[in-house]
């Protein structure tokens, strides 16, 4: 799942819940799913440590057996 997928689904769930027309079981399941998605997104933002890497030059590339 990408961040975008999670964010899109989360917003759909919020919209559905705000309409207030879901059944109780549905509402609780949606809420639970929404919290999972929220945690996923938040972790993506918090866990990622900014990093700049350099792609090895082709000549340096270690390619055993050619």
Minimum distance from residue 21 beta carbon to another protein (Å): 8
Quick one: which of 1, 14, 62, 65 contacts another protein (CB under 8 A)? 14
In degrees and rounded to multiples of 5, residue 6 shows phi and psi of -65, -45
Answer for the pair 34, 6: CB distance below 8 angstroms, yes or no: no
Query: Is 10 within 8 Å of 38 (Cβ atoms)?
Result: yes
Is 59 a binding residue for another protein by CB under 8 A? The answer is no
Residues near another protein (CB under 8 A) are 2-4, 7, 10-11, 13-22, 24, 27-28, 30-31, 34-35, 38, 41-42, 44-46, 48-55, 57-58
């Amino acid at each position: 799942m990408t961040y975008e997928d999670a964010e899109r689904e989360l917003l759909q769930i919020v919209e559905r819940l705000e309409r207030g027309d879901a059944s109780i079981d549905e509402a609780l399941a949606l809420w639970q799913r929404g919290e999972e998605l929220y945690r996923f997104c938040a972790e993506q933002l918090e866990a990622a440590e900014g990093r700049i890497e350099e792609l090895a030059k082709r000549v340096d590339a270690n390619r055993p057996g050619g």
